[in-house]
Amino acid sequence: MINLTLKHFRYFDALARHGHFGRAAEACSISQPALSVQIKELEAMLGAPLVERSARKIRLTTLGEEFLERAQKVLADVEAMGDLARLSEGPLKGRLRMGIIPTVAPYLLPAIIRGLSEELPDLELRPREAVTQSLLDDLRHSRLDFIVAALPVSEPAFREFALFDEEFVLVRAGQDAHKPVPSPSKLQEMKLLLLEEGHCFRDQALEFCEIKQSDPSLLMEGSSLSTLVQMVDAGLGLTLIPEMAITLEQRGTSVSLSRFESAPPKRTIGMVWRRTNPLQKQLLDLGSMLRRIGQERQDRL
């Protein structure tokens, strides 16, 4: 009889996700040798290798890919059992794993943590910041309970709950404050600074400016909104940021902010969770709380 354990499943899932023993071990909070021993033990029980090892990265064998699919289903079922254990008519309590995108986290997460600590004192919120596609993958495989991201994500397996809308504002050098706000077509001709690929905010800005994803020659890139604003302050171009970022990112700079008067670009921020999550009622109640927290913050801008 093969004595597989949840530990084997979790370690192998981490190795498959990170593609590297060191990073997977760090994610599992164990040493790399310990992780390697567990994977070798798992392979010995199955009687065949699950991964092809190299100095830089591992690749799954055919058996490894099949085993990963089944292991992820087992882990998802175990997490669902944990949700059932928390399921009741009362408010959420215990651990709740939340994902949040980088263009929202620095500006809204502190308010969310403060608000929920007051309204749900028995809730242990565990946030993770990452780009949308990474969060959706974690949500799909039950590694997160819900995420806060730009809507729509348009996946049938997920339920979406809108929290609030916000406009984008134009960030320019201070000496340009008196100039007319350029149209989307004019922005194409300027030095436009945008987030690097993978950020949904980048895609939304490109759509507004009518710039094709395949034409990177028009763009300069940064890794965060803070970097973009600092680049504008240094005279390297102009950028767009969401309303919620104004207070934090404008601080300590001489940049000017301008709003688009005609058909301003905007986005909808919302919650997303699996339709199969048994905590549907509690997540809807949580959504109402986050909607209020988000709108109160927007009103203070």
Say if residue 144 is in the same domain as residue 68. no
Query: Are both 14 and 147 inside the same structural domain?
Result: no
pLDDT for 147: 98
| DSSP H or E segment with residue 169 | strand 158-172
Question: Is residue 289 situated within a structural domain?
Answer: yes
Helix axes 62-86 and 6-18, enclosed angle (nearest 10): 120
Tokens 């969401």 correspond to 242
Same domain, 101 and 238: yes
Alpha carbon of residue 13 to chain centroid = 20
> Is residue 123 included in any domain, yes or no?
yes
Which run of H or E residues covers position 287? helix 280-300
Please indicate, yes or no, whether residues 284 and 189 belong to a single structural domain of this protein.
yes
Q: How far is CA 34 from the centre of its chain?
A: 30
Q: What is the pLDDT of residue 83?
A: 62
Query: Half-sphere exposure of 258 toward its Cβ, with a 13 Å CA cutoff?
Result: 20
> What are the angstrom distances between the C-alpha of 216 and each of 35, 39, 192, 206, 237?
41, 42, 10, 10, 15
**What are φ and ψ of residue 63, in 5° steps?**
-65, -40
Domain contains 1: no
Domain count across the chain = 2
**Measuring CA to CA, which residue among 262, 266, 247, 71 is closest to residue 167?**
266
45 domain residue, yes or no = yes
pLDDT at residue 125, as a whole number: 94
Name residue, tokens 């077509």: 185
Walking along the chain (301 residues) 10 residues at a time, the average pLDDT comes out as 81 88 88 90 88 82 88 82 60 88 96 93 93 93 93 94 95 91 84 85 85 62 91 92 94 93 89 91 94 85 68
Question: Residues 116, 203: one domain?
Answer: yes
What is the CATH classification number for the domain harbouring 130? 3.40.190.290
Q: Which residues contact 48 (CB under 8 A, 6 or more apart)?
A: 61, 63
Q: What is the pLDDT of residue 254?
A: 95
Same domain, 230 and 211: yes
* Structural domain for 245, as ranges: 93-301
Taking the whole predicted model, whether its pTM rises above 0.95 is answered as no
Tokens 């921020």 identify what position? 269
The closest of 14, 28, 26, 27 to 58, measured between CA atoms, is: 14
Return d(Cα 11, Cα 14) in angstroms, integer: 5
How far is C-alpha 52 from the geometric centre of its chain's CA atoms? 30
pLDDT of residue 82: 66
CATH number of domain containing 25: 1.10.10.10
From residue 65, how far is each of 17, 57, 136, 144, 271 by CA, in Å?
Answer: 12, 16, 20, 22, 31
Considering 84, 119, 147, which residue would you say is the last residue of a domain? 84
Taking the C-alpha atoms of residue 166 and residue 264, their distance in angstroms, rounded to an integer, is 10
